[in-house]
Amino acid sequence: MSDEFSPSADGASPLPDGLEELAPDSTFHFSCHPGVPCFNRCCHDLALPLTPYDVMGLCRFLGMDGESFLERYATVRTFPDTGFPLPFLNMDDVETLPCPFVGPEGCAVYAARPAACRSYPLGRGSRLGRQGVEERHFLVREPHCRGFAGTQEWTPQRWQEDQGLPPYNAFNDRYMRLMSMVGATGKPLEPQLATLALLCLYQLDAFRALIEEKKLFEHVEISPQRAEDVLFADEATLDFGLDWLELVIFGRCPGLSARGR
């Protein structure tokens, strides 16, 4: 997740080794399954950031609340320019540093795997442009990967759809937009707001409890249906959390209005 194209916003800089830019209609061949010689090798020694939508899905799959998940499986850092939380998945503390969810048969949380895992070997760079989110795609070619020897052909769009990435991208782009707005101010979030961001975006159960305890719905214009969804559906809770943060930080939000305004 990035608020600017990577590795180069204008395409003038050379790409790092192992990256190949793809046009929207470009094709590539890739297939990953237990029969590939390098199966599971890419699931070790990772610096894997977790987005709010990633954590939401993993918590739901594992039957955990956000606070317990972060405590057990993640190390929370911050984006230096904005102060927003940035959890990284902890690798198991053994010699090869495997992902805690990988085993000989593959990924134990495959149905809820994070966006970075779904996207591989496709990289996505995005930024906010005049017409909304603009994106570029890159193919990541690592020396160990034998998946490129597969015969199945993909375009960037078909690969993302096949891997279930559209909702991940949509929520990640919303988070990117909010961070870009804060970044444009030149002032990272104060610690209190950073703590609120962690609660609203990564600890949805605790955020729902806060909504009811502080009667947050009394302070905003919200339909009864949306209010009900926020309290019972994770996606709606995360959607409201993004709007609530924007309202708190900037005093305004296109998707949510304070009462009396």
What is the tens place of the pLDDT at every residue in 165-177?
999 999 999 999 9
Is 27 inside a domain boundary? Answer: yes
Q: How far apart are CA 4 and CA 136, in angstroms?
A: 10
Q: Are residues 34 and 96 in the same domain?
A: yes
C-beta of residue 73 within 8 angstroms of C-beta of residue 21: no
C-beta of residue 51 within 8 angstroms of C-beta of residue 168: yes
| 30-77 confidence digits (pLDDT tens) | 999 999 999 999 999 999 999 999 999 999 999 999 999 999 999 999
Q: What confidence category does residue 4 fall into, taking pLDDT thresholds of 50, 70 and 90? A: very low
- Name the pTM for this structure: 0.91
Q: Are residues 71 and 148 in the same domain?
A: yes
Note the pLDDT of residue 261: 57
Is 138 inside a domain boundary? Answer: yes
Note the pLDDT of residue 129: 72
Domain count, the chain: 2
Q: Are residues 254 and 130 in the same domain?
A: no
3-state helix vs strand vs coil in the chain, percent to 5: 45, 20, 40
Q: How far apart are CA 172 and CA 138, in angstroms?
A: 18
Note the pLDDT of residue 133: 75
Domain containing 143 equals 19-174
| 197-236 confidence digits (pLDDT tens) | 999 999 999 999 999 999 999 999 999 999 999 999 999 9
Q: Are residues 145 and 49 in the same domain?
A: yes
